[in-house]
Chain A
Amino acid sequence: MVMINLILILLVGGLLAMLSERLDENMPRKVAMAVVLFDLIYLISSILSLPEIAQLQAPITSDPSTWLMHFKANWIPAFGISIEFAMDGISLLMVLLTLILGAVAISASWTDIVKRKGFFEANLLWSLAGVLGVFLALDLLLFFLFWEVMLIPMYFMIAIWGHENRGYAAMKFFIFTQASGLLMLISILVLAAINQETTGVWTFSYFDLLNTSIPEQASYWIMLGFFIAFVVKLPGFPFHTWLPDAHTQAPTAGSVILAGILLKTGAYGLIRFAVPLFPQAALDFSYPAMLLGAAGVVYGAVLAFGQTDFKRLIAYSSVSHMGFVLLGIYAWNELALQGAVMQMVAHGFSTAALFMIAGSIQERLHTRDMSQMSGLWHQMPRMGAVAMFFVIASLGLPGLGNFVAEFLILLGLFQVNVWITVIAATGLITGAAYSLLLMQKSFQGEINKKWAESKLSDFGQREMMTMAVMIIALIFLGIYPQPILNIAEPVLHSLLDLTALALPSIAEAKL
């Protein structure tokens, strides 16, 4: 029930936020913030009250009773579709990230949104609810439902409150994810139909479908359907073209959610579904997948270097960083997977913060063009310092979360394929190049005469508080990553065991 409540609180909270606009124009953002924080507290308290949390026993992936939480109720019994939620360490991390970044996004929308505030906060909360559903649903059709439905509030956020080219960006975002989602729908249905043919029962439950024996050739095609849907969302090269537009045109809060959370649903889907359901096919496909990952790392970095638009640069850097995640997942060993999970969390914080800074700059200068910025540090020292921190974090400075993540991924990848590791490692260098370029062009150098006269307000208390949350999180992840690794480790272990069982060749190699 806890998991349903988590989602319901956000859904109802969204409605409340929308209605509260009638009382006072500034009420919605307060209501939304309260709702998200309440949800967060509710989650933490119910996790702490679980007996299992003390020992963090390794769950058996195919046995829901060993997971942290499990809930199942009939929904459409005619097709064996149920409302099934389950939570393990990875979903827990993702849900925590979602709620924390949700609060950050609401803070980012505090002054950014001036029109129809109620409807905006409602859409924000609803998209958070959709994302929670994606991270928790373990019935494949329910998962698909959340996967598609979370797009709609996001679509509205871009289409109504976005910047100058919002219609195009919102449309492109929706069509890319929806079309690839249809491929996944077919894959899900084929998988369920194969299971129905062998067992005689319709079911869409993850735990049942894990045991399906799929003909080899079919499993490759089905796996590709999942893979494409997830890689579009990730986004991996060459399906990334929606991302720069959507991120650039979205309002700040929308960018925060998109980059911080929505991209992670793709990575989560790969870890949870694409590989464990089709271990053999995923193994066969791991080489092309890793090549795509490496291509994404390099390509994203090169394009980021060529941008003049502040937000677009960060968007392309996301392509590069998410390339690492793809590499980590398809290396499929413990180190690399740990790194991938770590990267999902760390990238969530660092990019969210950078987008918030971009939003604050745009709110003050009404432009995102870096050639018009330069020397902003002099006028806004606090924002400059904060930006410096996150730029450094994003380029992977040791001691911060992103470094731990990328290092683990490269370490794990090295055991699998040396050459791809070499290519991917260049991403760290190019990363430094575009990150520092961003800093130099916007915050350092001479003050642009255009802004010299005008008084630009620095970060205020609210913004500094929000930034502090993310700064602390990144330092914590960098210096003492063990708690996160501990939460993810048992889950990754059991996933590796599960796929190793299905792949005798790997099991033998391990012995």
Chain B
Amino acid sequence: MNASVFYAMTPILVLSATAMALMIQASIKRDHKVASIIVAIGLILSLLGSYYASNYTQPVTVLLQVDNWSLFFTGLIIAASLIILSLSLKTFLPEGERKEEYYLLLILSVLGAVVLIQSSHMVSLLLGMELMGVALYVMIAFPERGDLPLEGAIKYLVLSACASAMLLYGFALIYAATGSLSYIGIGAEVARAYEQNPVLVLAGSAMVLAGIGFKLSVAPFHMWTPDVYEGAPTAVTGFLATVSKGAVFVALTRFYIDGNLYQYTGLTAALAVLAIASMLIGNWLALRQENIKRLLAYSSIAHFGYLLVALIACAHIDIQLVSQSITFYLTAYIVTTLAAFAVVASVAGEDVRGQEIQALEGLFWYRPLEASALTVAMLSLAGIPLTAGFMAKFFVITVGVQSHLWVLLVALIVGSAVAIYYYLRVIFAMSKPCEVKGKASTGFDRTLAIILMACVLLLGSWPQPFIAYTGTL
């Protein structure tokens, strides 16, 4: 252990320090504003830290793998958390006294996500996932009023516990088969273990996939998603959709590729079933949703189905291209989803009625900027050219075509064709004429909407620099 190991861990250390600072602050003087400022500073510092750490990329013990790829996602997720923080301020400031625990939970959850992203060992995978998850249960149930948050939190808690149990049991089986808990170790041993006892390896990794699939809410592990999305405060839903799911997918990718699990057709077939089910079920169930948060929940199920297509493809083609396409897709998805939630948070806030698609009617005419941002976000999720979502889908389809995954591609097309309907419904509602003028937006809401919209459009219309950058990761 020398100093450079600690440099490599800068983001994690800064986040931990921030959590401690928050607790100290709470013991001196409980104050909402101060807490939020500390969190903001902590996040910004760890964002800079993740850039700084890129000079010291190395494995940190057997638990963490700090390389450019994980540092990129660390940075992305911390940036996303900053935006989530700014959305939460609006939600929790008006609620008044003793709400600053929220910030502690937020920072702990981010810390869990970062550990998850950098994990190279099953222990750190579990640690990260639990840290992130436990903090999230409380964040979901945080509002004092209403039953929906509590319902969502309990659902998430109970099902999460089941998923963690599955995950642990899967770890145990894999350990029994390979005698190793680190991804690299599994990767080295898995071929021999598979020869000796294929059932153990397949059953173990299938259980791990099921546990992770729950967190990603791929079908058929998706049941909790709409209720939790709807019940949680909008900012927390945004966190769940972007930071939590993004981090879990990064961990899955690493586990799947480093563990050499992609070579086994049984697993690939299982993943393919999950992918097809997610693409079809997610898009199909989204059709009849009236609440925009529920709609986004189902849409995210479908999107992780698309992402799985890229993951499956690494059985057939160059891993570099696969990881590039996963990087691009996740980035595009996170940016787009943030844009959507930023607009929903500023337009509807916590008002369940306001989250109905109907309530968006006429948004174009009284808040044109935010309506444009939501339109761009919807078009991006639908995969219309010039948006980030199109380039992302282009990547996935290219990878799919190169590995001849025709069945998956057909499901992707059918899913996308169905999806256009519900994304357009949102746009159509916004373009309806309206008599009542809604409340005006604040300058901050507008700035945030413009920035995120610009990111989505830039990634879609001038993707070359970013594609080149993903090639270096």
Contact = CB atoms under 8 A, between A and B. Distances in A.
B416 A171 contact: no
Given A148-B385, A193-B398, A160 B421 contact: no
Contact of A75 (B417, B425, B431, B464): B464
Given A152-B379, A189-B397, A78 B468 contact: yes
B385 A182 contact: no
B401 A190 contact: yes
B398 A175 contact: no
A189 B398 contact: yes
A480 interface: no
Contacts of A116: 365
B385 A186 contact: no
B420 interface: yes
Contact of A148 (B384, B402, B409, B413): B384
Nearest to B379: A152
Nearest to A182: B413
A150 to B, nearest CB: 10
A76 B385 contact: no
A326 interface: no
B428 A78 contact: no
A263 to B, nearest CB: 21
A18 B104 CA distance: 47
A178 B413 contact: no
B79 interface: no
Contact of B401 (A144, A145, A156, A189): A189
B428 A186 contact: no
Contacts of B420: 174-175, 178-179
A171 B428 contact: yes
A115 interface: yes
B63 interface: no
Contacts, number: 71
Interface string A139-172: 0010011001100100110011000000100110
B26 interface: no
Contacts of B385: 144-145, 148-149
A149 B417 CA distance: 16
- The majority secondary structure among interface residues of chain B is helix
Contacts of A189: 394, 397-398, 401
A183 B410 CA distance: 9
Contacts of B379: 152
A179 B464 contact: no
Nearest to A147: B385
B141 to A, nearest CB: 38
B417 A179 contact: yes
A76 B424 contact: no
B421 A76 contact: no
Contacts of A141: 394
A179 B384 CA distance: 11
B413 A76 contact: no
A302 B434 CA distance: 41
Given A75-B464, A170-B428, A186 B384 contact: no
A170 B431 CA distance: 12
B463 interface: yes
A156 B463 CA distance: 27
A278 B153 CA distance: 56
Where chain A touches its partner, the secondary structure class is helix
A50 B424 CA distance: 44
Given A115-B433, A160-B431, A185-B397, A175 B417 contact: yes
Interface residues on A, range: 20 to 34
Given A149-B386, A193-B401, A186 B413 contact: yes
A45 B366 CA distance: 43
A293 B397 CA distance: 32
Contact of B428 (A74, A148, A167): A167
Contacts of B266: none
A171 B431 CA distance: 13
A203 B262 CA distance: 29
Interface string A167-202: 100110011001100110110011001000000000
A215 interface: no
Interface in B442-473: 463-464, 467-468, 471
Contacts of A115: 433
A77 interface: yes
Interface string A21-57: 0000000000000000000000000000000000000
Contacts of A74: 464
B103 to A, nearest CB: 40
A77 B467 CA distance: 10
Contacts of A170: 424, 428
Contacts of B428: 159, 167, 170-171
A78 B413 contact: no
Given A156-B431, A178-B417, A78 B471 contact: yes
Contacts of B401: 186, 189-190, 193
Nearest to A180: B417
A167 B398 CA distance: 34
A492 B385 CA distance: 31
Contacts of A185: 394, 397
A159 B471 contact: no
Interface string B257-271: 000000000000000
Interface in B406-443: 409, 413, 416-417, 420-421, 424-425, 427-428, 431, 433
A102 B363 CA distance: 29
Given A148-B384, A167-B428, A183-B413, A175 B421 contact: yes
Contacts of A77: 464
Contact of B398 (A79, A148, A160, A178): A79
Given A178-B417, A189-B397, A155 B384 contact: no
A182 B402 contact: no
Given A148-B384, A182-B413, A155 B402 contact: no
Contacts of B386: 145, 149
Interface string B206-248: 0000000000000000000000000000000000000000000
Contacts of B382: 178
A79 B470 CA distance: 14
A152 B397 CA distance: 23
Contacts of B464: 74-78
Contacts of A149: 384-386
B288 to A, nearest CB: 15
A78 B467 contact: yes
A182 B417 contact: yes
Contacts of B424: 155, 170-171, 174-175
A76 B417 contact: no
Nearest to A148: B385
A160 B424 CA distance: 13
B369 to A, nearest CB: 14
Contacts of B433: 115
Contacts of A144: 385
B388 to A, nearest CB: 13
Nearest to B410: A186
B219 to A, nearest CB: 21
Given A78-B468, A179-B413, A159 B398 contact: no
Contacts of A148: 384-385
5 contacts: A76-B463, A148-B385, A152-B379, A171-B421, A189-B394
Given A76-B464, A148-B384, A189-B398, 13 more contacts: A76-B467, A77-B464, A78-B468, A141-B394, A155-B427, A171-B428, A175-B420, A178-B384, A178-B417, A179-B417, A182-B416, A186-B409, A193-B398
> Which 7 A-B residue pairs are closest in the complex by CB-CB distance?
A179-B417, A145-B385, A78-B467, A189-B401, A182-B413, A148-B385, A193-B401
Interface of B: 365, 379, 382, 384-386, 394, 397-398, 401-402, 409, 413, 416-417, 420-421, 424-425, 427-428, 431, 433, 463-464, 467-468, 471
Interface of A: 74-79, 115-116, 141, 144-145, 148-149, 152, 155-156, 159-160, 167, 170-171, 174-175, 178-179, 182-183, 185-186, 189-190, 193
